[in-house]
Amino acid sequence: MTDVISEYYEKQAKKGKRGGLNLPAMSRKSLNFMSCIIADPGYVFVSQDVVALEPSITAEMSQDHMYMYATLNGIGQKPYYDDTVLRIDDIYLMSASVFPPTRMKLWDIYHNRLMPTGKTFADQWVIDSEVCKDYCKKEVRNFAKVACLGIGYGMGARKFRTTAEENGTILSYKEAKGTIDAYWELFKGLKTLRDTLSWNVKRTKAQVNPFGYRSTPDDHKAMNAFIQSSASGVLDVYCLKLFQFCPYAEFIALIHDEVIYSIPAELQDKLKSDSDFVAESLNSDLGWSVPIRFGTKIATTFGGLK
């Protein structure tokens, strides 16, 4: 336990961060530490995380048809190449299919390699997509995730090169700029949303998200601030509804897009039906074309929630 905590502080110090020990957040990164966090006798932990929260909000706000496919219309469909774009319900792999550093690697994985199960990439995806994600994460998906998040945050080519290098990929300036250009060419509807939000912030010096939250970001970070604050709004509303409707649930932590709480062990079946009702209520109130979806795990230790 002491070694785990010391390692946490060392990493925080390297990042220039100070402050108290964030046990819930740290525990999600250390299996040894997670095994030490045990539910009270007669209780279990519940983890509910939103499936692709920010991509879902991005798709809803932009109505970009490619983003909509990755977060809604392509769910459950067999992935396929449409010219040079991989149509798939994973925004990172879709993007990887057009990014200069990863497009040929993903093409090779899709067309020429078998998954560890012996099936093709497309066939395995509709059976268990996690196998495919694990197989290609080092070659293409990790880079694509860093790229998508960084570009969405408003990074330019120079900053993106530094971020990519920190995550294990060396890029030339030309490759970095090519990746950014490919992203905005693929998601043209998203580019329109970015430009609109940026212009409005330049004009009014502020913006208000669908939940009434007012922010004053730099104009090139307007879209990121809009999407992230909306994500916080979704989680705030969900938690408000959940803990009002389920008074037997005791809040523990909110980590990014995951809410963790405990319930009496005998109420697990009730919780599943109750949380489904709360999710339906949330989506009814939002009235969005892209529904907010949740994944639920129940365990007696934090490790079991991983």
Q: pTM to 2 decimals?
A: 0.84
For residue 20, give the H/E element and its range. Answer: none
Predicted local confidence at residue 23, as pLDDT:
57
Question: Alpha-carbon distance 193 to 199, whole Å?
Answer: 10
Q: What is the pLDDT of residue 152?
A: 83
Q: How far apart are CA 206 and CA 201, in angstroms?
A: 5
Say which DSSP state 267 is in. G
> Domains of the chain (ranges plus CATH)?
1-36 (no CATH), 39-64+189-306 (3.30.70.370), 65-186 (no CATH)
In the block, residue with structure tokens 């396929």: 80
Q: Phi first, then psi: give them for residue 156, nearest 5 degrees.
A: -90, 180
Q: What is the pLDDT of residues 271-294, one digit of tens each?
A: 999 999 999 999 999 999 999 999
Measured between alpha carbons, how far is 24 from 1 in angstroms, rounded to an integer? 14
pLDDT at 37 over 90: no
pLDDT tier, 1 (very low <50, low <70, confident <90, very high otherwise): very low
**Residue 2 — very low, low, confident or very high, per pLDDT cuts 50/70/90?**
very low
Strands (E) located in 111-210: 207-208
**Whether residue 175 has pLDDT greater than 90:** yes
Reported as a single tens digit per residue, the pLDDT across 250-277 is 999 888 899 999 999 999 999 999 999 9
Above 80 in pLDDT, residue 21? no
Q: Is the pLDDT assigned to residue 200 strictly greater than 70?
A: yes
Q: Which pLDDT belongs to residue 5?
A: 52
Please determine, for residue 27, whether its predicted confidence score (pLDDT) is greater than 60.
no
Higher-confidence residue of 10 and 185: namely 185
Residue with tokens 């989680």: 235
pLDDT band, very low/low/confident/very high, at 52 (cuts 50, 70, 90): confident
Q: What does the pLDDT look like over 130-143, one tens digit per residue?
A: 999 999 999 999 99
Average pLDDT of the residues of the chain: 90
For residue 110, pLDDT over 60 is answered with yes
CA-CA-CA-CA dihedral for 95, 96, 99, 103, to nearest 10: -140
* Structure confidence at residue 34 as a pLDDT band (50, 70, 90): confident
pLDDT of residue 228: 93
* pLDDT above 60: residue 114: yes
Res. 32 pLDDT band, cuts 50 70 90? confident
Residue 17 has pLDDT above 70, yes or no: no
What band does 97 get if pLDDT is binned at 50, 70 and 90?
A: very high
Look at 10-14, 121-125, 146-150 and tell me which has the smallest mean pLDDT.
10-14
Do 179 and 101 touch, CB atoms closer than 8 A? yes
- Flag whether pLDDT at 219 surpasses 70: yes
Task: Tell me the mean pLDDT in the region 224-235.
Answer: 95
Radius of gyration (Cα) for the chain, nearest Å? Answer: 21
